[in-house]
Amino acid sequence: MSRYEGENMDRILPDLAEGEKEHILVTHDKCIFYSNDGQCEIDGRLKLKPTDIEQYPTVLAEACEYLEPGKDREGYWIAENVLNQIKTKAILIFEILYPNCIGVFAFDNSSNHAIFAKDALVSKRMNLNSGGLQPKMHDTY
């Protein structure tokens, strides 16, 4: 992974052996803005350049998701939204922008990022007493 040093945060590339790929950290954050919040500048979005868009017309131009939160609107941002965003947008865009690199995706500590498969082995889904419905679970994702 590249590191940055000095007052100007100069990029220092890693020493890679033949066949090794650079790892790039990709972080996820969420923000909620309403129409009267004013303007906000966001830097470092995972999005394609115009030349990439022409070359890959089936890939969406950026990984951002827009949602009107609320019970009577588009609902709330949940773990399935994160998983879908990563699978259908972020990874595809990352692979176009950094074809010879490996993405290391990191998430904040929001509870909705702790997604499990529907049949994952999760102790709080187990019955404490005999009887009742016992979900079928397996021990891997």
- Assess if residue 71 is contained within a domain: yes
Greatest CA span in the chain, whole angstroms? 65
Mean per-residue pLDDT for 68-88?
A: 77
Q: Looking at the domain assignment, is residue 119 inside a domain? A: yes
Question: How far apart (Å, rounded) are the C-alpha atoms in residues 14 and 23?
Answer: 9
* Domain-embedded: residue 83: yes
- The Cα–Cα gap between 4 and 14 comes to 11
Residue 97 CA from chain centroid, whole number: 15
CA distance 127 to 98: 46
At 36 the pLDDT is 47
Looking at the structure of the chain, the number of domains it has is 1
137 assigned to some structural domain: no
Residue 121 lies in a domain: yes
- Within-domain flag for 132: no
The conformation of residue 72, written as its DSSP 8-state character, comes to T
Question: Which has the minimum average pLDDT: 25-34, 74-83, 112-121?
Answer: 25-34
* β-strand pairing of 3-5 with 10-12: antiparallel
Asked if the structure places residue 140 within a domain, the reply is no
Greater pLDDT, 37 or 91? 91
Token pair, residue 107, equals 């998430």
Domain assignment present for residue 113? The answer is yes
Q: Could you give the CA distance from residue 2 to residue 10 in angstroms, rounded to a whole number?
A: 10
Its domain, for residue 82, covers 3-125
Calculate mean pLDDT across residues 77-85.
Answer: 77
